[in-house]
Each structure stands twice: as C-alpha cells, then as structure tokens.
Amino acid sequence: MARILAVGIGALDIINEVEGYPPEDAEVRAVGQRITCGGNATNTLTVLSLLGHQSCLAAVLANDFAGEQLRQGLVRHHIDLGACRIERQGRTPTSYICLNRLNGSRTIVHYRKLSEYRFSDFVGLDLSAYDWLHFEGRNVQDTRNMIDRARKEYPELPVSVEIEKSRPGIEVLFKGVDLLLIGQDYARSKGFTDPQHFLLAMADRVGDCNMVCAWGAGGARVQGRHGEMYLCPAYIPAEIVDTLGAGDTFNAGFIDARLQGRGLKAALEAANYLAGRKCAMVGYEGLALS
C-alpha cells in the first residue's frame, strides 16, 4: 500500500442514465440516476483506494449542501480530506451528466464557482507523508510552484501531472516531472491525429520525462525518458456501459503499476486493461474484484 496525494478538484456528479442521447429541446425520462463524487483527481484517487492504496485529496471544498454530499462520498471511498481547504463562499463544482446506456457515452455539463487550490494551501503540507504526488493540470502557475516545492524539498518523490486538455500556459507544467499523462484532447488541440507522432514531438520538446497518451479506442502509448516507445491496443470489453472516468481510471492504473515497480510497458498494459474493464461496469466499485 502506498500513500498518494492528488491535487485537483472534487465535484458532485449527478448522473442521469438515458436510453439514447436526447435531441435538443426534448423532454426525456431518465431510466436511472446516481449522485456520486467526481472530478479527475478524485476519480483517480477513488480507483487507487479500491486498489488498496491510501488516497489523500488536496482540493477546495465548498460549505454547501452539495459539498456535504460530496464529503460523504469521499469518506465512503476512504479518501483522506486532511489537505483540503473549506471555502465558506462559493459552490460545489457540479457535473450534470447524461450517460447513454446504449453505448456508454457520457456528456458532461460542468458548473463551477469556487476558488482553485492554491500554492498557499499546499506550502504547509508535510510531503514526507506521501509516496507519490499527482496533479491535475490546471491553475497553472500555482501548480508549477507546488511541483517546484516538491522537487526542491523531496527530489525522490515521484510526481505525475495529468494534461487532459489545452489550457492557457499549461505547457509550463511539462518540465521537471516524472510522468506526464496526456489526454487525446490535448494532442488533438495541437493538430495531432495519433498518439505516436504526438509523443515523438513531445519527446523532442520535453526531454527527460516518461509520457503516456491514451487514445480511447485507438489504444495507448508510452514514450520513455530514454527513447523507448510501446503501444498497447485498446482493451474493448464485450459491452460498454459507462465510460465516465475511464481516463481517470487509466491514470490510476498507471500510477498503481509504477508504485508496484513495474516497467513502462507492463504499466501501460495494466492501465489499459483497467480502463477497459471500467467501461464494462457502472462506477468503479467492481474494479476492486480481480
């Protein structure tokens, strides 16, 4: 068991399951509903916790009704909230999600009115308590400062950063980390149409870092810091029922495998398989069963 601190957001996910994505301006009945905790870092921690690790979240939590629901969900998933800041003003980030039962697609409308987790929240944390640090790529300058602090004071502590999509200045997070977990949305926003060419271009630019890019049904690739590259075709289950958080699950799988000392190829295969299995089940709980 390892202790992982993830800096990112906690959101309340209100998931309506529908039998087919509704046309605009239609009124349709949901065939199921779940309210659960979400947010990329939170989902990654949820999965890491199911895999037997001690998950700790560093996020801003609001003091409203949704915030209480969110807190209960996080505690249920055994996520430690000691590093979180509670904000009296502001609202719990909320995602309204349409989950299509026919193909597992998830359409997300996300609302947020809450401050970001800042460097000043992070500066007092005792980082010696953790075996791995994971950051959502957002709130760029503060996140950069957090990474710099970790690097300076605990150079041996592994640091991963998730780059899900393009945000202004996000490239400042590329340097001085061990692992970049990059989503295809980011690669596409830079004009790439496949992970191989994208990672080769990244390696030229970033250098000393392991980089992973998951491309949905197109499989996943890792580019190691010594130039090694591996491809893993997507693991596509017989029935896809819920793709919400599949990318976050992939990231958890990769981190878990590296914590277990696995090499890049084995970690890629493990993450890929875990994310595929997740798509075959509702939520994450079933991932705990091997």
- Residues binding ligand FRU (CB under 6 A): 11, 13, 38-40, 43, 95, 108, 110, 244-245, 247-248
Query: CB of 79 within 8 A of CB of 49?
Result: yes
CB nearer to ligand FRU: give 116 or 131. 116
Nearer to ligand FRU, 95 or 184 (CB): 95
Q: How far is the CB of 38 from ligand FRU (least distance, A)?
A: 2
| Shortest Cβ 13–ligand FRU spacing (Å) | 5
Q: In degrees to the nearest 10, what's the CA dihedral of 94, 277, 231, 258?
A: 80
Residue type, 213: C
Q: Of 258 and 278, which has the nearer Cβ to ligand FRU? A: 278
Nearer to ligand FRU, 43 or 143 (CB): 43
Cβ of residue 255: shortest distance to ligand FRU, in angstroms? 16
Which C-beta is closer to ligand FRU: that of 95 or that of 223? 95
Let me know: does 71 contact 37? Beta carbons within 8 Å: no
Measured between alpha carbons, how far is 51 from 53 in angstroms, rounded to an integer? 6
What residue spans of the chain are helical by DSSP H? 40-50, 65-76, 119-122, 140-153, 184-189, 195-206, 246-259, 264-279
Rounded to a whole number of angstroms, the minimum distance from the CB of residue 97 to ligand FRU is: 7
Strands of the sheet with 106-113, listed across from one edge: 32-38, 11-18, 91-100, 106-113
Q: Are 142 and 119 a contacting pair, CB within 8 Å?
A: yes
Nearest position to ligand FRU, beta carbon? 38
8 A C-beta contact, residue 90 and residue 113: yes
Cβ 183 to ligand FRU, closest distance in Å?
Answer: 10
d(CA 211, CA 177): 10
Identify which of residues 11 and 199 has a Cβ nearer to ligand FRU in the complex.
11
Cα 204 from Cα 199, distance rounded (Å): 9
Q: For ligand FRU, give the closer residue by CB, 198 or 250.
A: 250
Least CB distance to ligand FRU at residue 131 (A): 23
User: DSSP per residue over 82-103, as a string?
Assistant: TT-EEESSSEEEEEEEEEETTT
**Smallest distance from ligand FRU to CB 265, Å:** 25
